């Protein structure tokens, strides 16, 4: 079954609505310049509830060019399962984070091998938009992504919405899909109905009913 990650969660209500909709992974953005930025204390508070009541949900911290120390501290403080490295981090950083991190590529990587994790997700594939570290609403190159998806259990991101995610799943066949702006009513605020619709479309594509 295709994994579903809903990213840019800022409130407990949005986190619970995402879980209710059928998300497997929730993403929390620690990049200060993002409209989806969340303070560590706020994330820790949300995570404490989720770790009590929804243990099956994996929690992911999104970082852009943060230090290893800062990432480790945030993972621990906020009880997060994984770190998503969305900046210009080198492969060495992945090993420094003891297998708890995966790389996000903006655009199709020339060489993914050095970055690919041994367990899924191997990495995340986002659209390439100059000067923007994710959440741009622009779709990735699905044709190239489909070739990579044959080799790696990747997370597909970039401009996915309830309207196009079924086609993306059918064409790319990714291990999982990642959405932020595509399920929001306003930037940074999730829309419960759009999240439900998004998950429904993914499941529809898998069952061949798309």
What are the Cα distances from residue 22, in Å, to 27, 31, 150, 186? Answer: 14, 26, 25, 21
Which pLDDT score is estimated for 207? 83
Distance CA 92, CA 95 (A): 5
Distance CA 42, CA 20 (A): 21
Active site residue 14: no
Indicate the pLDDT class of residue 108, thresholds 50, 70 and 90.
confident
Q: Which residue in the list 7, 14, 78, 178 is annotated as catalytic? A: 7
pLDDT tens digits along 93-105: 999 999 899 999 9
Pairing of strands 123-126, 155-156: parallel
Tokens of 2: 């295709």
The helix or strand, by DSSP H or E, that contains position 131, with its residue range, turns out to be none
Distance CA 79, CA 92 (A): 23
pLDDT tens digits along 111-131: 888 899 989 999 999 876 555
Chain position carrying tokens 């619970």: 16
> Which CATH number is 91's domain given?
3.20.20.70
* Residue 136 scores a pLDDT above 60: no
Q: How many domains does the chain have?
A: 1
* Residue 3 scores a pLDDT above 60: yes
> How many C-beta neighbours within 10 Å does residue 111 have?
8
- Stretch 159-178: mean pLDDT: 96
pLDDT tens digits along 15-52: 999 999 999 999 999 999 999 999 999 999 999 999 99
* Residue 110 scores a pLDDT above 90: no
Active site residue 170: no
- Stretch 138-150: mean pLDDT: 89
pLDDT tens digits along 199-210: 999 999 988 765
Domain residues for the domain of 40 are 3-206
Please, what is the average pLDDT of the chain?
93
Residue pair 157/178 in contact (Cβ under 8 Å)? The answer is yes
- Stretch 61-79: mean pLDDT: 98
Which pLDDT score is estimated for 112? 84
Q: Which residue in the list 14, 78, 126, 178 is annotated as catalytic? A: 126
């Amino acid at each position: 079954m295709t994994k579903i990650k809903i990213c840019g969660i800022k409130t407990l209500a949005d986190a619970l609505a995402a879980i209710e909709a059928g998300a497997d992974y929730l993403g929390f953005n620690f990049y200060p310049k993002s409209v989806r930025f969340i303070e560590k204390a706020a994330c820790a508070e949300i995570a404490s509830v989720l770790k009590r009541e929804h243990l099956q949900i994996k929690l992911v911290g999104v970082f852009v060019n943060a230090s290893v120390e800062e990432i480790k501290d945030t993972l621990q403080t906020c009880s997060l399962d994984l770190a998503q490295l969305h900046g210009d981090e080198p492969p060495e950083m992945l090993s420094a984070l003891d297998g708890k991190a995966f790389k996000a590529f903006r655009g199709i990587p020339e060489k993914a091998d050095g970055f690919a994790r041994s367990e899924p997700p191997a990495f995340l594939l986002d659209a390439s938009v100059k000067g923007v570290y994710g959440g741009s609403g622009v779709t990735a190159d699905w044709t190239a992504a489909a070739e990579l998806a044959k080799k790696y259990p990747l997370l597909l991101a970039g401009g996915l919405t309830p309207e196009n995610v079924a086609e993306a799943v059918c064409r790319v066949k990714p291990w999982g899909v990642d959405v932020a702006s595509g399920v929001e009513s306003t930037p940074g605020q999730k829309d419960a109905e759009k999240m439900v619709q998004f998950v429904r479309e993914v499941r529809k594509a898998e069952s061949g009913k798309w």
